[in-house]
Amino acid sequence: MTQWLTQADCKAVMHSLFCAELAAYRGEPVPGWQELQEIDSLERLHLAACVNEFFCLHETGLEDRLLMTYSFDEWVSFVAEAITETSGLTFRTSGSTGSPSAHFHRWEHIEAEANALARRLASVMSMKRVISWLPLHHLYGFMLGVALPCVAGVPRNAVSGVSLPGLSSGDLVVTVPPRWDYLARSNTLWPGHMAGVSSTASLSPQTSSRLINQGLMGMLDIYGSTETGGVATRWQHDMPYQLLCHWRQHDTQSIKRVDDNIITPLLDKAHWHNDTTFTLNGRHDGVVSIGGVNVSTSYVKQRLLSLESVKECAVRTTGNPAQQRLKTFIVPASGQEPVAAQDIAQLIAKWPAAERPVSVTYGDALPTNAMGKLSDW
């Protein structure tokens, strides 16, 4: 159970969850959504199921109460009361590496990570406010935008628009690499004694250096995943990651929490320098990071091959590491290049940006080298 999550925190997280789920359900953004009266009965059932899963309300046996009211504020009030008796939260992956999967995190583990992050940040700054430019219903958004300020006892400000609010000394800004890239290239001027946190993917050395030169006193890069939560951090891009204090090394490719013996495998290949620091040497599963989102090129390939007009295809990254996107080489079914082009355009039109190939090349056979192995194009 948790005692530190307030009703206002619940409301902010639920609003983030509802906006995302309604957008996915309807296939279009819903920025002006405010009340349950604005949704139909099927959407209401869907949202109730999402809230039940996220907050683990089934543990209370009272989850059906969500269907007894049409007031969003009453839903918030019920959830805020119910979570004092639940064991944790369930976060979902984006689905960009396959079907979205749910991952449960116990309250005590969430609190331990938030405290570990607060300690790591306290080594360089006196934090006075957390400004999060992340969806609060995602693991990193919740951890950095809600749990961290709660345990640190500082105010929070969740950015819902396209720009940061007014900044002041002692602010901690947390967001994803593409937004840090944008802020760096915009020559943002930072007040003194401000730091940043980057999550979901590694921040490029160029962006990190540029932000420091523009006035940020430090940029904390977090390594982890929806499956594990935050695992380790580093202040400089050329330094190893250091385990957060609630983790300990088990072996070269797995870790354990300090309070249990459950073995947690790392998703990346790790080279350990000692029992608390390591560097990364690529993913085990070939997943790539596009705009701070983990994307499986195999998953994208399978979806393209589901089209009858596509005989073969290959998917790779293109562009520099800081701004890389996906490209694809398509071998159409016999005589069906125009059909394949139309089918692909329709298929990828509604894909998330990170999964969508920005370049499509057509040919009679996949490109190979002299040894017959797939080559770049």
| CB within 8 Å of 240: residues ≥ 6 apart | 234, 273, 277, 278, 279
User: Which CATH number is 183's domain given?
Assistant: 3.40.50.12780
State the residue range of the domain holding 358.
Answer: 296-362
Lowest mean pLDDT among 27-41, 160-174, 240-254: 27-41
Assess if residue 92 is contained within a domain: no
User: Which CATH number is 307's domain given?
Assistant: 3.30.300.30
The phi, psi pair for 114, rounded to 5°, reads: -60, -40
The phi, psi pair for 177, rounded to 5°, reads: -50, -45
Q: Tokens standing for 96?
A: 């960009």
Q: pLDDT band for 97, please (50, 70, 90 cuts).
A: low
Q: Are residues 116 and 241 in the same domain?
A: yes
Per-residue pLDDT tens for 64-94?
899 998 889 999 999 999 999 999 999 998 6
Buried b (16+ CB within 10 A) or exposed e, 50-71: bbbbbbbbebbeebebbeeeee
Q: Are residues 315 and 236 in the same domain?
A: no
Q: Are residues 73 and 176 in the same domain?
A: no
Per-residue pLDDT tens for 102-151?
999 999 999 999 999 999 999 999 999 999 999 999 999 999 999 999 99
pLDDT for 132 equals: 96
Single pTM value for the model: 0.80
In 3D space, the residue among 228, 128, 137 whose CA is nearest the CA of residue 173 turns out to be: 128
Assess if residue 372 is contained within a domain: no
Mean pLDDT of 264-279: 93
Question: Would you say 316 and 346 are in contact if contact means Cβ atoms under 8 Å apart?
Answer: no
Q: Are residues 128 and 48 in the same domain?
A: no
Write the single-letter amino acid at 377. W
Q: Are residues 199 and 274 in the same domain?
A: yes
CA distances, 25 to each of 21, 36, 44 (Å): 6, 15, 11
